[in-house]
């Protein structure tokens, strides 16, 4: 099987051992520690605020903010949030990890170099363990589309193959970015080779406005590509000529991983970002005739829902 479905009999995967790192948050600028832990088969991906003792399932319905990142919050304590989760989610999905606990001691995932490559390196160092539990996938049965009214849209379509295929167009006129397009079948190999090391980016003219809004406080040329009209301000330049659309497709992988299981689908987007990516999942799951479970016997979505219904933790 292709896409997010490993060829090894479709069995669930986790990490062999815990592994961690320390880095700054892109938006908060705070220094934070992150540790990736193995998890039991069927647990899914869970985020844990170790400073507060609160777990938040990595699920689309818990997304509360999509301004320049994807942030989730506990449904019964919206002030308990974790931002900039998309790159670590993309790395886990791209590596085929189904079950893991992501511990962080603050409100944001460290940005590291602005791509998913450092998280993929951590996964490689920890190693991957395959369980006996079968893996579930979410099969898209009919087209679902969301749009913003200004020409941007995101769509999911059925796929005749057991795979996740993605195509994306972006357009930043009068800048070094310009128009870029990329179409790719997302596999562990293509994710690693084509997407993982592509960095987040911004326009130089936006930096001061973002900081006045309390965003991008930790942004530097070491963790983001900065574009000033026709110029790239980073001394080392770009990692790929089309690094911008590659990073946007990396974001799609991370955002759609919040479905709770791999998608058998074709994604098509035009200037889509975190907001439309999340709206697309909400639209998909709002239509019970647009999707179905296939594969294993235990639904990760049902398991996550059961956990959320448990009594919420007390807060000081």
- Catalytic center residues: 274
Characterize 4-19 residue by residue with b for buried, 16 or more Cβ atoms within 10 angstroms of its Cβ, and e for exposed.
Answer: bbbeeebbbbbbeeeb
∠ CA 167-224-33, nearest 5°, is 105
Neighbour tally for 275: CB within 10 Å: 18
Cβ(39)–Cβ(46) below 8 Å: yes
DSSP state of 95: T
Alpha-carbon distance of 105 to 90, in angstroms, equals 20
Alpha-carbon distance of 90 to 249, in angstroms, equals 10
Q: Strands 77-82 and 71-74, how do they pair? A: antiparallel
What φ, ψ does residue 126 adopt, rounded to 5°?
-70, -35
List alpha helices for the chain, DSSP H: 86-94, 117-126, 188-190, 204-212, 243-256, 274-286, 300-309
Alpha-carbon distance of 284 to 281, in angstroms, equals 5
C-alpha Rg value of the chain to the nearest Å: 18
Distances (CA, A) of 253 to 76, 177, 184, 295: 27, 21, 11, 21
∠ CA 295-58-3, nearest 5°, is 40
Alpha-carbon distance of 313 to 76, in angstroms, equals 9
Alpha-carbon distance of 218 to 110, in angstroms, equals 10
């Amino acid at each position: 099987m292709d896409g997010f479905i490993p060829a090894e009999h479709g069995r669930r995967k986790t990490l062999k051992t815990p592994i961690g790192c320390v880095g700054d948050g892109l938006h908060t600028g705070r220094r934070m520690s992150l540790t990736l832990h193995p998890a039991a088969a069927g647990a899914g991906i869970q985020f844990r605020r170790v400073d507060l003792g609160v777990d938040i399932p990595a699920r689309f319905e818990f997304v509360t903010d999509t301004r320049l990142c994807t942030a989730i919050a506990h449904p019964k304590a919206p002030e308990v949030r974790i931002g900039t989760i998309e790159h670590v989610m993309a790395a886990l999905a791209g590596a085929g990890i189904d079950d893991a606990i992501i511990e962080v001691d603050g409100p944001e995932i460290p940005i590291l170099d602005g791509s998913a490559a450092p998280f993929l390196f951590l996964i490689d160092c920890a190693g991957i363990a395959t369980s006996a539990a079968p893996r579930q996938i979410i099969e898209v049965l009919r087209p679902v589309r969301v749009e913003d009214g200004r020409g941007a849209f995101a769509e999911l379509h059925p796929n005749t193959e057991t795979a996740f295929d993605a195509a994306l167009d972006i357009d930043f006129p009068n800048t070094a970015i310009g128009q870029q397009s990329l179409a790719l079948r997302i596999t562990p190999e293509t994710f690693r080779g084509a997407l993982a090391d592509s960095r987040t980016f911004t326009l130089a003219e936006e930096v001061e406005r973002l900081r006045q809004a309390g965003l991008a406080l930790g942004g530097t040329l070491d963790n983001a590509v900065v574009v000033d009209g026709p110029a790239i301000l980073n001394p080392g330049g770009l990692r790929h000529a089309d690094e911008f659309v590659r990073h946007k497709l990396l974001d799609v992988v991370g955002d759609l991983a919040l479905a709770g299981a791999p998608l058998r689908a074709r994604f098509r987007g035009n200037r889509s970002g975190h907001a439309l990516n999340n709206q697309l999942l909400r639209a998909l799951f709002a239509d019970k005739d647009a999707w179905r479970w296939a594969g294993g016997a235990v639904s990760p979505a049902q398991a996550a829902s059961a956990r959320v219904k448990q009594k919420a933790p007390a807060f000081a």
